[in-house]
Amino acid sequence: MSYRLPPLNGLRAFEASARHLSFKRAADELCVTPGAVSQQVKSLEASLGVQLFRRFHRGFLLTAAGENYLPSISVAFHTIADATEGVAPALKGRKLRVGVSPTLSEQSHPAIENLRRSGEWSRTKLVATDDLCELIDGKVDALLRTSLQSPPGLHIDRIELRTSTGALLPTTLVTLPGLAGSTGHSSSFSGVSDRALVGFAFDCFWHIASFRCKT
C-alpha cells in the first residue's frame, strides 16, 4: 500500500500549535523558532490545499477543517510513540547524561538554557562537571568542556557555542570511543537499544542547542 502523507515536520508543527493554540509554545516544545513553526504549518496547508488555522493579529483559531484534522493526527502520533517504546523499551525513561563545564553552567548561554528547559523532551540530563573521570567511570555519557585539549583515547568534537551576545565560544564535546549515533558522533553505549537512543538523543542535542560543528 502506498501512503499519501504530507510533510512530517508540518504535521508536528500543526499538532503542537493546535494543541497549545500558540506558535510560541509549540516552538518551545519542538525546539525551533515560532517563525519556523508558522512556516511549517503554512507549507502543510499549501500541500493539503486547505486552511487549518484562521489567523488574527494576536493569535489564531482552528478552522473547521483543522478541528476535524487534529484528533486523527494526535492519535497517529500517540500510536507511533507507543509503538516505538514497545519495540525499543530501553528508550523509555533513559536520558543522555551530559556533563557541562561549571564555567558554562554559570554563564548565560542560550544553548545551555534550551537544553535545560527541554531536558524532558530531549531525554537529556545536564550535570555540572567537566571531570574526565566522570566520563570514564560511566557517570556521564558526554562532556561539554571549555578546554580544547584532546585527551588521548577519547572522541572529540570541536564545537562553537553561541553566547547570549552572539559571540562564538570554542568548546569540545568529549565522549568515549565506540558506537556512533545517527549523527556520526560517537558514544559509549553498548547494545542495539542504546545505539538507537544515542542517535535520537544526539539528534536532539545538536538540534535544540543550536551548536555548530567546526569544519
Q: For residue 52, is it within any domain?
A: yes
Contact predicate 38/9, CB 8 Å: no
pLDDT at 33: 80
Ordered mean pLDDT values, 10 residues apiece, the chain (215 residues): 84 93 84 85 95 91 96 91 74 73 73 62 75 87 84 80 75 69 36 40 48 43
pLDDT at 199: 46
Question: Is the domain of 96 the same as that of 192?
Answer: yes
Q: Which of 35, 61, 87 is the last residue of a domain?
A: 87
With CA atoms as reference, report the closest residue to 93 among 114, 124, 118: 124
Element (DSSP H or E) covering residue 171: strand 168-175
Considering the entire predicted model, what is its pTM? 0.52
Q: How far apart are CA 11 and CA 7, in angstroms?
A: 6
pLDDT at 190: 32
Q: How many structural domains compose the chain?
A: 2
Q: For residue 81, is it within any domain?
A: yes
